[in-house]
Amino acid sequence: MKQSLSNLDKLPVEFERNDFLIRRSKASDIPKLVEIINRGFSYQDKLRGRPRITNEEQQALMEEDIVYIVKNHAKESVATYAVYEDPSEPLVLHLARLVVAQDYLGQGIAGMLMKNLEQIARSVGYKTIYLNYMHIAPSWLPEFYHRLGYQDVHDSMRVWQGIEISSMTKEL
């Protein structure tokens, strides 16, 4: 008997949106992904001595999650995000590490990516998007997600390596 595909397997490999090429990243993208993440998570220095992400860590993450890289019309890498699925919640798409390169902040890229991700997730059968954010992130980050319709998950606050983390969700 053939096993059915998960919704994660139905996500596109590559697509274009608003003059951006969004595609699943490859091993050759790792140095650029690491650069975007390390420069984009400027608050990462607050991670209490935790080293910045390395190429090896990014490679391991790519083996666990689907990692997308976003390029503009000039083929510059401007953002990245990852998605994954918890087998116990097949209708929930988890979003991780949405980072826009510092030179491109404030241009609406993150909002466009979130809206696009929601459309695609809905089209392949997801009912909910779930994300976490660190309380050391910029203070505007929770409000950004709230404006997009994400709701705080009550009693979700926890501590990871001494850093408070909370969760948000949006029904699609």
Which pLDDT does position 49 carry in this prediction?
52
Cβ atoms 61, 82 nearer than 8 A: yes
Provide the 10 A C-beta neighbour count for residue 44.
Answer: 17
Summarize pLDDT for 56-89 with one digit per residue, the tens: 877 877 778 888 999 999 999 999 999 999 889 9
Query: Please, which pLDDT band fits residue 118 given cuts at 50, 70 and 90?
Result: very high
Cβ atoms 49, 164 nearer than 8 A: no
**70 has which bridge partners?**
22, 79
Does the pLDDT at position 112 exceed 90? Answer: yes
> Which domains can be identified in the chain, with CATH numbers?
7-127 (3.40.630.30)
Stretch 31-40: mean pLDDT: 83
Phi and psi at residue 9, to the nearest 5°: -70, -20
CA–CA gap between residue 119 and residue 149 (Å, rounded): 14
Task: Label the pairing between strands 92-100 and 77-85.
Answer: antiparallel
Tokens of 71: 């390029």
Instruction: Specify the DSSP class assigned to residue 11.
Output: S
Tokens of 34: 């690491």
Does the pLDDT at position 92 exceed 60? Answer: yes
